[in-house]
Homo-oligomer: A and B are copies of this chain.
Amino acid sequence: MSERSLVTLEDVAQAAGVSPATVSRVLNNTAAVRADMRERVLAAATSLAYTPNSHAQALARATSQVVGVICHDIGDPYFAGIIRGVMRMASEHDLHVTLGSTFGDQEREIAYVGMMRGQRARAILLIGSGFEDAAWQEAMGRELDRYVATGGRVTAVSRHRGLHVDAVLPQNRTGAAELARAMVELGHREFAVLSGPATLTTAADRLAGFRDGLARAGIELRPDQVVEGAFNRDGGYAAATELIRRGLRATCLFAATDLMAVGVLAALRNHGLSVPDDVSLTGFDDIPLVQDLTPPLTTVALPLEEVGRRAMAMALRRGTTTRNRVERVQGRVVLRASTAPPPPSGRP
C-alpha cells in the first residue's frame, strides 16, 4: 500500500457521487442537504474510514482545535494533577492538547509559545508560576502579545508578574498565612521555612504569606531560618540538611511544596529527628500520597484537577472586556499528624 493513500474529501465525494462541497456540508452539519445525498455521503465516509485532515481544516477555517499547555515538569505530581483536569475538559470539548514541558528552562518556555503560535493554537495555558526575571518577562510578554494580537487566548495558572493575561490564581499567599496561623495556634513560636527558588513567584508568595501569618502573631522569621531549595524532593532534602547544619532553631518547619516536604522528612529522619515529636512539618499543595506518608502531612490543599478545569474553561470562554480576568482558588489547611504542639523543651 502506498504511503500517500490517505482518503480525502474528494474520494468520499466521488464514492458518493456528489461534490466535495456537499460532503463537507454533511460532515460538518453546516447546511441542509437532501436526505438521500446525506445518506450516501455518510455511507461513503464510513466505508472509506474517512478522517478529515485537521491541518487542511485549520488552514481553511483559519482556526484550529489545538490548545497548548505548558508546564514546568510533567513528571511533577502538582502539574500532572492540574493537567489531569485540563485533559478532562479538553476531551469534553474535542480539543487537541499540545503539551510542553520546560524542565525549568525559561528559554524553552518562550520557544513553546512560538511553536504553539505556529500551530495557531486557539488557546495557550501557562501552568506554573512565572519568573521574577525582567528579561524573561520582557521576552515572554512580547511573544504572548504577538499571539494574543492574532486572536489567541492565554490563561495562566499562578501569578505571572509582568504578563497581562487571564489567570487562575491559587491563593498561595493567604493559604500560607492561614497555615502559619494554624501552627501558631498549635503553640509554635519558632519557625523555619524551606522555600523554593526566589525567582519563582509561587515560592515568593508562599514565603511572603507565611511571614504575614506569623507577623499577625507578632512572630518574626529570622533570615537564617529561611533556606532555598529546588522545587522538588531533593531540593527539600538539601535545604533541610543545610538548615540543620545552620542549627535548627525551630519547632515547626514549612516546606514550600509537598514534594519538598517529602525530602525534608527524609532529611530529618536521617538526622535522627522525629516528626512531629521533635519538630512539626508542613507542606503545600496536597498532592496524592502525602496523606499516606508517616506521619501524614499537614498541608494546604489545592484542588489541582479543579484548577486545571477552570483554567481550560476560562481560556475557552472569550472575555467580554479587554480587562484580564482573574479567578482565585482558595487553599484549605488540612491538619494531619505531621504537626503537633511543640515539645515541652521548646527545642529538639
Interface of A toward B, CB cutoff 8 Å: 1, 3-6, 49, 51-56, 58-59, 62, 64, 69, 73-77, 80-81, 83-84, 87-88, 91, 96-101, 103, 108, 114-115, 117-120, 142, 146, 149-151, 233, 262, 265-266, 288-289, 292-294, 305
* A150: chain B residues within 8 A (beta carbon): 3-6
The count of identical subunits is 2
* A292: chain B residues within 8 A (beta carbon): 233, 262, 265-266, 293
Whole-angstrom CA separation of A119 from B49 in the bound complex: 15
The residue of chain B having its C-beta at the shortest distance from the C-beta of A76 within the complex is B80
Whole-angstrom CA separation of A59 from B61 in the bound complex: 14
Cβ of B233 and Cβ of A289 under 8 Å apart?
A: yes
Cβ of B103 and Cβ of A88 under 8 Å apart?
A: yes
Whether A59 contacts B56 in the complex (CB less than 8 A), given A74-B80, A97-B99, A146-B49, comes out as yes
Cβ of B80 and Cβ of A149 under 8 Å apart?
A: no
The residue of chain B having its C-beta at the shortest distance from the C-beta of A66 within the complex is B98
Extra contacts besides A51-B117, A292-B293 (17): CB < 8 Å: A51-B118, A53-B120, A54-B118, A54-B119, A55-B64, A55-B120, A59-B59, A75-B80, A75-B81, A75-B84, A76-B80, A80-B80, A87-B99, A91-B100, A96-B119, A233-B292, A293-B294
